[in-house]
Amino acid sequence: MKTGDVIKFSARALSGYPTRTFLMILAMAIGVASVILLTALGEGARRYVTNEFTSLGTYLLIVLPGRSETTGGPPPLLGETPRDLTLQDALSLTRHSAIRRVAPITVGSAPVSWKHRDREVTILGSTEALFEIRHLSMAQGRFIPAGDPTRGLAVCVIGYKLKRELFGNQSPLGQWVRIGERRFRIIGVLAKKGQSLGLDIGDLVVVPVASAQTLFNTSSLFRILVQANGRDAVSRAKEMILATIRERHEGEDDVTVITQDALLSTFDRILVTMTLSVAGIAAISLSVAGILIMNVMLIAVSQRTSEVGLLKAIGTPGTQILRLFLAESTILSLIGAGLGVILAYLGTWGLARAFPRFPFAVPIWALGAAVFVALLTGLVFGVLPARRAAKLDPVEALSRR
C-alpha cells in the first residue's frame, strides 16, 4: 500500500466519525497549548527579571562597605570595624582599564520645599556617571554636569513625580528649592522609567555627591556603582576593585563586590528550572490526551471489527492494518498539535495584550518539544489499539456485523 493511500484511507476513517475525531483533536490541542502557554509564562518571567537587571545597568558591579562572610570560619579575635568607603576610594577606581565608569552614591532623606510645598524625599548624591550606568533618561533639562566630583555644586535633578507634586504643570527648570538647610537650583527632571529594583526614580532628588555629603555631614559613601568595560572585563574589574581598596585600606579586605552577572545567572537558573517544571506539569495534560486517544482508538477498533475482518479477507496483512491504525492516531495528534500551537499563540497574544509590561515569549524549544511529545504520545498510545486490530481473527471479525 502506498503512503499516500495509507494517509488517504486513515483520513477518510477519521472524517467518517467527526464527533469522536473532533474530541480527540481537541484534547490533544489543549494539551499542546497548555504546555506551550505555561512555558511562555515561565519564559516571560525569566525575561522580565533579566530586563529588570539590565535596567539596573549593564556589566554592573556594586561595591558595598563591610565584608560579608559567606564561607564561615572562626570569628576574628579582635573586633574589626569596617572602614567607610570614601569618595577618594571611588575616584581611585576610575584609573583602571577594565573599568569604564564609576558612580559613587550617597543616600539620605531630607525635606524638599518650594514656596509653601514641602516633601520628605530620598536624596541621592552621585556624579554624572550614574546617568549612563543606570540608563536614566531626562524628561526636561539635563543631568548633573561632569566636573570635579569633590566640588559640591548647588544644582539638583528631580524625579517626575516630585516635579508634579511640587510644581504641577509649571516648569521647574531654574527654580531654587530648599533641601534640608541648603538651596539648590533645579537643572533637570528625570523621565518616567518605572520602578528599578526597589528605588522609585520618580520620587527622588539627585545632587552632586559632594553636596550630598555636606548636606548629610558625612564623608562616607553608601556604595559605589562600577560599570566594567564589557562582559569579559567584569571579573577583572572585580579583582582590581578588591586589590585597590585593600591597598587603600591598609591591607584589609573590608568591602564586598557584587556582580550583576552572578545575581542574574542565579535568577536565570531558578527561572529556567521553574519553567521546565511548569512545562512538565503541563505535559501531564498531554499524556492525558494520549490516554484519551488510546481509549477512543480502542473503541474505534471494536466498532470497526468487521471492517478489519474484511480488510484481512481482501488481502491486507496484519502489519498493514497496524500501519493504518497508527497512521490514524498520528494524523490525529498532528492535527491536534497544529491546532494547539495556534491556540497557544492566540493565548500568548491575548495575554500580551492584557499585560503589556510582561514580556511573554514562546521559546522555540518548547514549541518543538510540545509538538514532538504530542506525536510521540499519539504513536505510543496508538500502538496498543493498532496491535489489537492487527491481531483480530478474520473469521471472528467477519462474523460480527
Q: Which of the ranges 91-99, 310-318, 356-364, 374-382 carries the binding residues for other proteins, by CB under 8 A?
A: 310-318
> Residue 293 in 3-state DSSP?
helix
How far is residue 383's CA from residue 321's CA, in Å, rounded to a whole number?
11
Pick the closer one to other proteins by CB: 10 or 275: 10
Counting contacts by CB under 8 A, is residue 1 touching other proteins? Answer: yes
Task: Find the helix packing angle between 364-391 and 260-303, rounded to 10°.
Answer: 20
Contact (CB, 8 A) for 15 and 21:
yes
Between 4 and 74, name the residue whose CB sits nearer to other proteins: 4
Residues 6+ apart with CB under 8 A from 11: 331
Footprint of other proteins on 216-245 (CB under 8 A): none
8 A C-beta contact, residue 53 and residue 365: no
Give the number of residues written for the chain.
401
Nearer to other proteins, 12 or 353 (CB): 12
309 binds other proteins (CB under 8 A): yes
Which of 66, 316, 359, 387 touches other proteins by CB under 8 A?
316
Q: How far is the CB of 30 from other proteins (least distance, A)?
A: 27
Separation CA 365–CA 368 (nearest Å): 5
Does 299 contact other proteins by CB under 8 A? no
Binding residue (CB under 8 A) for other proteins from 62, 307, 358, 388? 307
Tell whether residue 140 is a contact of other proteins (CB under 8 A): no
Which residues in 367-396 contact other proteins (CB under 8 A)?
A: 394-395
Min separation Cβ 289 and other proteins, Å: 25
Check residue 5 for interaction with other proteins (CB under 8 A). yes
Considering the complex, what minimum distance in angstroms separates the CB of residue 295 from other proteins? 21
Q: Is 314 in the site for other proteins (CB under 8 A)?
A: yes
CA distances, 24 to each of 19, 160, 331, 347 (Å): 9, 56, 11, 20
Q: Is 297 helix (H, G, I), strand (E, B) or coil?
A: helix
401 binds other proteins (CB under 8 A): yes
Name residues whose C-beta falls within 8 Å of residue 208's C-beta, 6 or more positions apart in sequence: 125, 126, 127, 144, 149, 151, 152, 153, 155
Taking the C-alpha atoms of residue 114 and residue 94, their distance in angstroms, rounded to an integer, is 36
Q: Is 303 a residue that touches other proteins (CB under 8 A)? A: no
What's the min distance (Å) between Cβ of 313 and other proteins?
Answer: 5
Q: Is 302 in the site for other proteins (CB under 8 A)?
A: no
From candidates 46, 100, 238, 312, binder to other proteins by CB under 8 A: 312
Cβ proximity to other proteins, 66 vs 318, nearer residue: 318
The grid cell for 227 is 560599570
Least gap, CB of 391 to other proteins (angstroms): 10
Give 139: exposed, middle or buried? Use CB within 10 Å, 0-12, 13-18, 19+. Answer: middle
Looking only at residues 32 through 71 of this chain, which bind other proteins when binding is defined by CB under 8 A? none
Q: How far is the CB of 309 from other proteins (least distance, A)?
A: 7
Provide the 3-class DSSP secondary structure of residue 328: helix
Placement of cell 506525536 in the chain: 375
Is 11 near other proteins (CB under 8 A)? no
Among 77, 168, 319, 353, binds other proteins (CB under 8 A): 319
Residues 119/164, Cβ–Cβ less than 8 Å: no
Dihedral sign from CA coordinates of 142, 143, 148, 150: positive
Cβ proximity to other proteins, 1 vs 272, nearer residue: 1
User: Which SS3 state, helix, strand or coil, does residue 377 take?
Assistant: helix
**Contacts to other proteins by CB under 8 A:** 1-2, 5, 9, 12-13, 15-16, 306-307, 309-320, 394-395, 398, 401
